[in-house]
C-alpha cells in the first residue's frame, strides 16, 4: 500500500509539473504557473520519499525516479534566479546622487477592504517619489487623496468600481500623463514621462491586467496581450523605462519571461529574493504578482516588501538610480525572432485600439 501511495504521489507531482506545458490559455491550465515554489517542494518530497520503496531490481523504478528528478531540476531551475544563489540581474547603485534617484510604492489595496486605516496612516510617512494604488474605487480615492501630502503635486486618478481603478501620485513632474485602455475599455493603465531632479526623463507604465478567472475571464488571453503590448512599448521607447503594477502573473511564468525578453527590461528581484506579494492572507500559498521592471540604465538602491495593509496583497517598495553610463554592464540579450513572433501573435489575437508591429 505504501508503494502504491508513493507511486500515486510521485505521479501527481509529475503531472502537475508537466501540466503547464499544455498550450492553452484557460485559467485551469495557467493557474499552475503560480505555485511554482510549492510544486518544487512537492516534487522534491515525492522524489525523496520514493526511495523508501525503491527497488534496485525493477527497471521501472529507475525510469520513475529519473522522471521525478527531471521534474525537480526543471522546477528548481525556474526559481533559482530569485534566490541569493543567483547573480543580480540589476546591479547595485554606484552613485549617491539624489537628483537621479526615484522611489516607488505600489499597493493593490483590495477594493472591498474595510480595514483601511493601516494604509491611510502609512501614506504620509511613505515618502516614496511615486505612489501607485490599484483596485481603487471612488471611496478609496476620496480617502487616499485626503491623506496624500501636498508634496505629491502631480496626480492621475481613475477610480472604478470593477476592481481596476488606479491612482497615481508623484512628487516628480509628470509629462503628458495619459490613462490608456490597451485591451479593454474597462481596464485602464497609466502612461507618463517622469522628470527627475537632474532634468532627465524616464518613461513610466503602470498596468493592472485582468487575471484568468473562472467566473469573469476564463482565459489568460487579455492579460497576456496587455503585457505584450506594454513590452513592445518599452522596447521601442527612446527613454529609460519603468513598468510597475499588479500583473496578475508570476515572475517565472512563460508569459512574464516572454514579456521581459521582448521588452528588454530587467528584474531587480533576481539574485535578491521572491518578494511574494500575494496571498497576504495565506503564508503557504504566496507568490510574486506585483512587479517592477526597469531598463538597463537603472541600478537598485533598495527593494522590499511593504507592511501589511489588510489587503490580499502586500505592497512593494523600490528605490532605483538612473546611471546610464553603466548600462552596458547589464544589457540583456535582444529577443529572438521567435520570441517577437510569439508576442506579435498574442497582440494580434483580437482587434485592439493599439497595434504595434514587433517584427519591424
Query: 196-238 pLDDT, tens per residue?
Result: 999 999 999 999 999 876 666 666 789 899 999 999 999 999 9
The confidence score (pLDDT) of residue 359 equals 47
Q: What distances in angstroms separate CA 258 from CA 228, 252, 324, one per listed residue? A: 8, 10, 24
The confidence score (pLDDT) of residue 72 equals 86
Has residue 297 got a pLDDT over 90? yes
Distant-in-sequence, close-in-space partners of 276: CB < 8 Å, separation ≥ 6: 286, 287, 288, 305, 314
Q: What is the β-pairing status of strands 241-246 and 201-207?
A: parallel
Closest to 156 measured CA to CA, from 142, 168, 174: 168
Cα–Cα distance for residue pair 294/241, rounded to 1 Å:
6
Cell of 218: 476564463
Q: What is the β-pairing status of strands 201-207 and 154-158?
A: unpaired
Cα–Cα distance for residue pair 288/203, rounded to 1 Å:
23
**pLDDT average, residue stretch 323-349:** 93
Has residue 20 got a pLDDT over 70? no
**pLDDT average, residue stretch 141-154:** 97
360 falls in which pLDDT band (50, 70, 90)?
Answer: very low
Cα–Cα distance for residue pair 132/140, rounded to 1 Å:
13
The confidence score (pLDDT) of residue 25 equals 56
The confidence score (pLDDT) of residue 139 equals 98
* Strand, coil or helix: 63: helix
Has residue 331 got a pLDDT over 50? yes
Which carries the bigger pLDDT value, residue 21 or residue 79? 79
Has residue 9 got a pLDDT over 70? no
Greatest Cα-to-Cα distance within the chain, rounded to the nearest angstrom: 75
Strand partners, 294: 242, 266
Sheet holding 298-305, edge to edge: 154-158, 166-170, 130-134, 101-108, 316-322, 298-305
Give tens-digit pLDDT for 264-273: 999 999 999 9
51 falls in which pLDDT band (50, 70, 90)?
Answer: confident
The confidence score (pLDDT) of residue 54 equals 64
107 contacts 133 by C-beta, under 8 angstroms: yes
* Strand, coil or helix: 74: helix
Give the chain's mean pLDDT: 88
* Mean pLDDT lowest among 31-45, 109-123, 175-189, 202-216: 31-45
The confidence score (pLDDT) of residue 144 equals 98
Which carries the bigger pLDDT value, residue 56 or residue 315? 315
**pLDDT average, residue stretch 254-262:** 94
pTM (two decimals): 0.88
143 falls in which pLDDT band (50, 70, 90)?
Answer: very high
The confidence score (pLDDT) of residue 107 equals 98
Cα–Cα distance for residue pair 13/74, rounded to 1 Å:
12
The confidence score (pLDDT) of residue 354 equals 44
* Mean pLDDT lowest among 63-67, 128-132, 300-304, 329-333: 63-67
The confidence score (pLDDT) of residue 49 equals 78
The confidence score (pLDDT) of residue 28 equals 47
Has residue 68 got a pLDDT over 90? no
**pLDDT average, residue stretch 320-325:** 98
Pick the CATH number of 98-347 from 3.40.1160.10, 3.40.47.10, 3.90.226.10, 3.60.10.10: 3.60.10.10
Cα–Cα distance for residue pair 349/360, rounded to 1 Å:
18
Has residue 29 got a pLDDT over 60? no
* Mean pLDDT lowest among 1-5, 25-29, 77-81: 25-29
Q: Give the DSSP H or E segment for 223.
A: helix 221-236
26 falls in which pLDDT band (50, 70, 90)?
Answer: low
Give tens-digit pLDDT for 92-137: 999 999 999 999 999 999 999 999 999 999 999 888 999 999 999 9
Q: Give the DSSP H or E segment for 220.
A: none
Cα–Cα distance for residue pair 334/339, rounded to 1 Å:
10
41 falls in which pLDDT band (50, 70, 90)?
Answer: confident
Amino acid at each position: 500500500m505504501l508503494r502504491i501511495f508513493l507511486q500515486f504521489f510521485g505521479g501527481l507531482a509529475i503531472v502537475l509539473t508537466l501540466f503547464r506545458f499544455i498550450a492553452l490559455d484557460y485559467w485551469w491550465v495557467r493557474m499552475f504557473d503560480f505555485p511554482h515554489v510549492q510544486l518544487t517542494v512537492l516534487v522534491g518530497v515525492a522524489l525523496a520519499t520514493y526511495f523508501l520503496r525503491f527497488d534496485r531490481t525493477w527497471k521501472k523504478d529507475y525510469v520513475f525516479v529519473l522522471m521525478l528528478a527531471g521534474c525537480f531540476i526543471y522546477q528548481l531551475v525556474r526559481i533559482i534566479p530569485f534566490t541569493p544563489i543567483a547573480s543580480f540581474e540589476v546591479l547595485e547603485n554606484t552613485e549617491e546622487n539624489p537628483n537621479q534617484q526615484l522611489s516607488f510604492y505600489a499597493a493593490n489595496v483590495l477594493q472591498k477592504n474595510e480595514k483601511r486605516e493601516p494604509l491611510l496612516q502609512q501614506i504620509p510617512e511613505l515618502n516614496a517619489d511615486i505612489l501607485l494604488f490599484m483596485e481603487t474605487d471612488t471611496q478609496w480615492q476620496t480617502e487616499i487623496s485626503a491623506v496624500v501630502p501636498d508634496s505629491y503635486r502631480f496626480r492621475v486618478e481613475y477610480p472604478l468600481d470593477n476592481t481596476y481603478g488606479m491612482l497615481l501620485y508623484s512628487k516628480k513632474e509628470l509629462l503628458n500623463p495619459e490613462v490608456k485602455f490597451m485591451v479593454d475599455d474597462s481596464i485602464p493603465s497609466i502612461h507618463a514621462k517622469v522628470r527627475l531632479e537632474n532634468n532627465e526623463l524616464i518613461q513610466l507604465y503602470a498596468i493592472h491586467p485582468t487575471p484568468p478567472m473562472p467566473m469573469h475571464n476564463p482565459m489568460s488571453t487579455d492579460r497576456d496581450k496587455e503585457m505584450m503590448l506594454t513590452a513592445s512599448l518599452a522596447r521601442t521607447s527612446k527613454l529609460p523605462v519603468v513598468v510597475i503594477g499588479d500583473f496578475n502573473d508570476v515572475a517565472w511564468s512563460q508569459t512574464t519571461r516572454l514579456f521581459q525578453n521582448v521588452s528588454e527590461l530587467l528584474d531587480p528581484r533576481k539574485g535578491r529574493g521572491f518578494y511574494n506579494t500575494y496571498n497576504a492572507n495565506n503564508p503557504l500559498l504566496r507568490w510574486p504578482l506585483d512587479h517592477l521592471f526597469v531598463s538597463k540604465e537603472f541600478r537598485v538602491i533598495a527593494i522590499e516588501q511593504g507592511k501589511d495593509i489588510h489587503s490580499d496583497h502586500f505592497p512593494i517598495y523600490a528605490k532605483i538610480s538612473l546611471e546610464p553610463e553603466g548600462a552596458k554592464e547589464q544589457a540583456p540579450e535582444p529577443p529572438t525572432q521567435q520570441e517577437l513572433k510569439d508576442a506579435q501573435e498574442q497582440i494580434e489575437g483580437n482587434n485592439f485600439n493599439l497595434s504595434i508591429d514587433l517584427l519591424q
